[in-house]
Chains A and B, each alone.
Chain A
């Protein structure tokens, strides 16, 4: 595995030392570490020569705590290409062989956790889902736009989570039936796409309105609200009214200008704009009722 540290001969040497740390031990350990690092770099170069092609990555670097990286810059990495390699694979290779301080979020590597949404070649994408073969070189990797950068490719997702929580994304029915709560096939079909959200934040970061207006709920939050509003298992009128009231505030659904960027970048292909439009129509119909 690429994250495994390559074996070296230092183990044999340290075994013959007397017990207890000494300056010699520490020096030897340090030397060993340096050797490992050199070896892994060498390994990378060999692999590049061995591989038919290498991919040129330009990665955004920024670290407020390290003097060198207080001014954001782009680092170049050359990564050997193997068939089927994703951007995440490339980033992990770069981190393991070139610069272990390269920081980014990732987890499942199968497009279900939503951790590794980034701005790749000018577009929000999930790194684990994006093939290097479909990108033009050099591959530019930047953190998600319109959010504070914590370090390198990691952004502060708190604002996104705040907006998601603001729509109360949980069932609130007081009276539950004694037997199972049933949902018809058609209803499930209707909300099926809206349940796929993985909270990656790509949509919100692609929306120009979300960029300008800090209070805008954002496509992800509104989609979440849609998922609950349209679910027939929560069918009390007052609950629907309550949800609608959250959505029809000034910075709710009305701020959407149907730019469609959210729908374009969603890695789960959720028709976000369509859902937002449906909710707008619901709000209008609801308001007209009281005339």
Chain B
């Protein structure tokens, strides 16, 4: 688990930097249109990277939050509850994100 957090961290360092660079420096945030997004997402490589980005970021973030709470000392029932809620929230986020990505890609319409 610890290792997975580190591995996802390393991956995210690169992909997040790439994402930021592309959307704020190469393109500009205020120039984003649906058309532009569509074009980018139709490239299968870009789409795959973005989807992996979504999954790793969600995992890294949710796992991070869970560990931060354990460090602060939650235990027993609150802990089990938080674990369940975080897990569910994470899954929902990935599901919704995947859905959005597929609409952007044109796979779903």
Docked-complex contact A257 and B71, CB < 8 angstroms: yes
Q: Give the residues from 214 to 237 in chain A that come closer than 8 angstroms, CB to CB, to chain B.
A: 214-215
Q: Pick 22 A–B contacts, CB within 8 A, sort by A.
A: A208-B71, A209-B71, A212-B71, A212-B72, A212-B73, A213-B70, A213-B71, A213-B72, A213-B73, A214-B73, A215-B75, A250-B70, A254-B1, A254-B2, A255-B70, A255-B71, A257-B71, A280-B2, A284-B2, A284-B3, A287-B3, A288-B3
**In whole angstroms, how far apart are the Cα atoms of A255 and B70 in the complex?**
8
**In whole angstroms, how far apart are the Cα atoms of A280 and B5 in the complex?**
13
Could you say which of B1, B71, B72, B73 has the most chain A C-beta atoms within 10 Å of its C-beta? B71
B3 partner residues in chain A, CB cutoff 8 A: 284, 287-288
B72 partner residues in chain A, CB cutoff 8 A: 212-213
Task: Determine the interface band of chain A, counting residues with CB < 8 A from chain B.
Answer: 10 to 19
Could you say which of A208, A212, A257, A284 has the most chain B C-beta atoms within 10 Å of its C-beta? A212
Q: How far is the CB of B80 from chain A (nearest CB, A)?
A: 13
Interface residues of chain B: helix, strand, loop or mixed (majority): helix
Given A208-B71, A213-B71, A280-B2, output 13 extra A-B contacts at Cβ < 8 Å.
Answer: A209-B71, A212-B71, A212-B72, A212-B73, A213-B70, A213-B72, A215-B75, A250-B70, A254-B1, A254-B2, A255-B71, A284-B2, A284-B3
Q: How far is the CB of A213 from chain B (nearest CB, A)?
A: 5
Q: B88-102 interface mask toward A, CB cutoff 8 Å, 1 = contact, 0 = none?
A: 000000000000000
Task: Please report A residues at the B interface, Cβ cutoff 8 Å.
Answer: 208-209, 212-215, 250, 254-255, 257, 280, 284, 287-288
Q: How far is the CB of B42 from chain A (nearest CB, A)?
A: 37
**In whole angstroms, how far apart are the Cα atoms of A209 and B1 in the complex?**
18
B75 partner residues in chain A, CB cutoff 8 A: 215
A209 partner residues in chain B, CB cutoff 8 A: 71
A250 partner residues in chain B, CB cutoff 8 A: 70
Q: Give the residues from 74 to 109 in chain B that come closer than 8 angstroms, CB to CB, to chain A.
A: 75
A208 partner residues in chain B, CB cutoff 8 A: 71
**In whole angstroms, how far apart are the Cα atoms of A212 and B70 in the complex?**
9
Q: Give the residues from 25 to 75 in chain B that come closer than 8 angstroms, CB to CB, to chain A.
A: 70-73, 75
Q: How far is the CB of A291 from chain B (nearest CB, A)?
A: 11
Q: How far is the CB of A109 from chain B (nearest CB, A)?
A: 36
**In whole angstroms, how far apart are the Cα atoms of A284 and B70 in the complex?**
20
Q: How far is the CB of A119 from chain B (nearest CB, A)?
A: 21
A254 partner residues in chain B, CB cutoff 8 A: 1-2
Q: How far is the CB of B32 from chain A (nearest CB, A)?
A: 37
The residue of chain A having its C-beta at the shortest distance from the C-beta of B75 within the complex is: A215
B2 partner residues in chain A, CB cutoff 8 A: 254, 280, 284
B73 partner residues in chain A, CB cutoff 8 A: 212-214
The residue of chain B having its C-beta at the shortest distance from the C-beta of A255 within the complex is: B71
A287 partner residues in chain B, CB cutoff 8 A: 3
A213 partner residues in chain B, CB cutoff 8 A: 70-73
**In whole angstroms, how far apart are the Cα atoms of A257 and B64 in the complex?**
11
**In whole angstroms, how far apart are the Cα atoms of A214 and B71 in the complex?**
9
The 3 A-B residue pairs with the shortest CB-CB distance in the complex, in nearest-first order: A212-B72, A212-B73, A213-B73
**In whole angstroms, how far apart are the Cα atoms of A254 and B63 in the complex?**
13
Q: How far is the CB of A284 from chain B (nearest CB, A)?
A: 5
The residue of chain A having its C-beta at the shortest distance from the C-beta of B5 within the complex is: A254
The residue of chain B having its C-beta at the shortest distance from the C-beta of A208 within the complex is: B71
**In whole angstroms, how far apart are the Cα atoms of A250 and B75 in the complex?**
11
**In whole angstroms, how far apart are the Cα atoms of A127 and B9 in the complex?**
42
The residue of chain A having its C-beta at the shortest distance from the C-beta of B72 within the complex is: A212
A280 partner residues in chain B, CB cutoff 8 A: 2
**In whole angstroms, how far apart are the Cα atoms of A221 and B1 in the complex?**
22
